[in-house]
Amino acid sequence: MSNTPIEFGTDGWRAVIADDYTFVNLERVAQATAEWLHDDYGDTPAVVLGHDTRFLGPQFARRAARVLAEAGVDVTLADSVVSTPAISWATQAAEADAGVVITASHNPPTYSGYKIKAHFGGPAPPEMIDRVEAAVPDGARSGALAPFEALSAQGAIQTDDVRTGYLDALRHALDIEAIKGSGLTVAHDAMFGAGQGLVQALLGDDQVIPLRHDHNPGFHGVAPEPIADRLHALSETVATGEASVGLANDGDADRIGMVDETGAFVSSHRILALLVKYLHEERGLTGSIVKTFSTTHLLDKMGARYDVPVETTPIGFKHIATKMADGNVLVGGEESGGIAASGHIPERDGIYIGLLIVEMMVKRDRPLSALVDELLEEFGPHYNYRDDIHIREDQKADVLDRLDTQGGLDGINGHAVERVDTLDGFKHVTDHGWLLIRPSGTEPVLRVYSEAESPEAAEALVKDASRQLGLDD
């Protein structure tokens, strides 16, 4: 429907294709983007635009380009499938006013989406998104759009090889030659997404084992999210000894998932901590640590040890990106695999982060499992657990209302709750860990996270809280 309310979630507008994600609604969002750009950047704002591997991605991207161009925006359209970080890099490198990516990231294959990037090369901050959302017209735009070819001939739309420039930027940010010289083999699971071929382009075919690198807009029916239970093939490939480490990326390659040389999944919490250790101790860099509300408290211990400030933000990388663009940030990241580090763009980049950890392995001459063991020996045991509970909107509202009106749970798995922090959801802090309950910003899901001193204790916190709230039925 042309009057469907358009709401941006944690990172962009996402909706089911042919339901709310239609060409008409996409035109409305693109028109609102153009209005915001003109308000902020004058008569001739510039945008870099691209799409991932999802169904109708090229067609949606071309339609958005036509709307923007006809509204007086100079559009540079990527000439092939590109990752979200590539568009963010290109936006910054070209000094464009914004970037737009047609992607639904890690959402199920029935979804598409629309991400907006700010001029600094990271997610548009909430105030920008609010203005775009407010400018979305109630109904469909009127009048026929000029053909894509005509707008291209006029110079209003230009195509560009964004991918090559982005790869060159990664070669500058990483010690690719050291990784190649090590002979270390990397397995790379692109999950049918936009990260296909990027690691091979950097390291060469001989050092990379590609998994799920073929064109499949339906992702074989599995949401392209690089979490442990969706990376079995990657784990098995590495565990057989074919590779020394495994990298995985989500649909638009801004998130990272990793497995060590045994095939064991390495969480984002630990990747973040390893990056802080490597960049501070080995590269001699400094700066603050910025983490989202659901991310490990191990980083707080590291901040105290290294005498660097630690700042906690609401969920969503857009809250981290502005801090990275404005200040001296060493590492910024979130529990869900979105991580950025000093020396690159202020944006999540699953390819960069994965290869930065590989660089750490090479420089330290140690396998990933040994680096993790060293980390936990030095800073103490920290184990995390997360359960995504699919729930009706009315049930979700009831649970959140109960937590709000009662001030949270009094105890969890036998531990008294010392305080409940409500920066983004309800984080129950105990003397043996913490538990967070919050709604997803993009899906009908209630997310329950925890951290404790053992894997069993972390899971027990989640299971007990779910039982108390009636979520385990």
pLDDT reported for residue 446 = 93
Residue-wise pLDDT for 13-31, tens only, equals 999 999 999 999 999 999 9
Does residue 142 share a domain with residue 78? Answer: yes
175 token code pair? 């010690």
Distance of CA 146 to the CA centre of its chain: 34
Q: Virtual CA dihedral for 399, 401, 404, 409, nearest 10 degrees?
A: -30
Distances (CA, A) of 87 to 13, 90, 161: 17, 5, 11
Q: In 253-381, which ranges are continuous DSSP H helix? A: 268-277, 298-306, 317-326, 350-364, 368-379
Residue 77, beta-bridge partner list:
49, 159
Q: What is the mean pLDDT of residues 153-178?
A: 98
Does residue 367 share a domain with residue 219? Answer: yes
Alpha-carbon distance 162 to 182, whole Å? 29
Task: Using the structure block, give the residue that is written with the tokens 């979105």.
Answer: 338
Alpha-carbon distance 185 to 204, whole Å? 10
Alpha-carbon distance 47 to 92, whole Å? 11
Does residue 188 share a domain with residue 128? Answer: no
419 token code pair? 């305080």
Alpha-carbon distance 245 to 379, whole Å? 24
- Provide the 3-class DSSP secondary structure of residue 204: coil
Give phi and psi for 24, each to the nearest 5: -65, -45
197 token code pair? 């071929």
Task: Find, among 18, 20, 47, 11, the residue nearest to 31 by Cα.
Answer: 47
Residue-wise pLDDT for 275-284, tens only, equals 999 999 999 9
Does residue 254 share a domain with residue 180? Answer: yes
Does residue 114 share a domain with residue 231? Answer: no
Alpha-carbon distance 464 to 341, whole Å? 35
Residue-wise pLDDT for 174-211, tens only, equals 999 999 999 999 999 999 999 999 999 999 999 999 99
pLDDT at residue 153 above 60? yes
Q: Virtual CA dihedral for 459, 452, 422, 250, nearest 10 degrees?
A: -60
Give phi and psi for 157, each to the nearest 5: -125, 125
Alpha-carbon distance 291 to 127, whole Å? 20
The parent domain of residue 316 ranges over 174-379
Confidence class for position 444, pLDDT limits 50, 70, 90? confident
pLDDT at residue 287 above 70? yes
Does residue 391 share a domain with residue 289? Answer: no
Q: Virtual CA dihedral for 212, 217, 219, 225, nearest 10 degrees?
A: 90
**Rg of the chain in Å (alpha carbons):** 22
- Provide the 3-class DSSP secondary structure of residue 371: helix
pLDDT at residue 62 above 60? yes
Does residue 156 share a domain with residue 214? Answer: no
CATH code for the domain in which residue 444 is found: 3.30.310.50
- Provide the 3-class DSSP secondary structure of residue 109: coil
Does residue 239 share a domain with residue 343? Answer: yes
pLDDT reported for residue 140 = 85
The helix-helix angle for 298-306 and 368-379 (nearest 10°) equals 70
pLDDT at residue 61 above 60? yes
167: in domain:
no
* Amino acid present at 306: Y
Alpha-carbon distance 255 to 472, whole Å? 29
Does residue 222 share a domain with residue 145? Answer: no
Could you say which of 379, 406, 424 is where a domain stops?
379
Most confident of the ranges 141-145, 245-249, 312-316 = 245-249
37: in domain:
yes
274: in domain:
yes
Q: Strand 383-390 and strand 445-452: pairing?
A: antiparallel
Does residue 367 share a domain with residue 277? Answer: yes
Alpha-carbon distance 399 to 446, whole Å? 9
Could you say which of 379, 403, 430 is where a domain stops?
379
- Provide the 3-class DSSP secondary structure of residue 63: helix
Residue-wise pLDDT for 338-368, tens only, equals 999 999 999 999 999 999 999 999 999 999 9
Does residue 147 share a domain with residue 48? Answer: yes
Could you say which of 161, 193, 222 is where a domain stops?
161
Residue-wise pLDDT for 119-130, tens only, equals 999 999 999 999
Query: Considering its fold, how many domains does the chain have in total?
Result: 3
pLDDT reported for residue 471 = 86
Sign of CA dihedral 7, 12, 16, 20: positive
CATH code for the domain in which residue 48 is found: 3.40.120.10
Residue-wise pLDDT for 383-407, tens only, equals 999 999 998 888 888 999 999 999 9
Alpha-carbon distance 248 to 463, whole Å? 28
Q: What is the mean pLDDT of residues 216-244?
A: 96
Does residue 207 share a domain with residue 131? Answer: no
Confidence class for position 322, pLDDT limits 50, 70, 90? confident
Residue-wise pLDDT for 87-134, tens only, equals 999 999 999 999 999 999 999 999 999 999 999 999 999 999 999 999
Confidence class for position 473, pLDDT limits 50, 70, 90? low
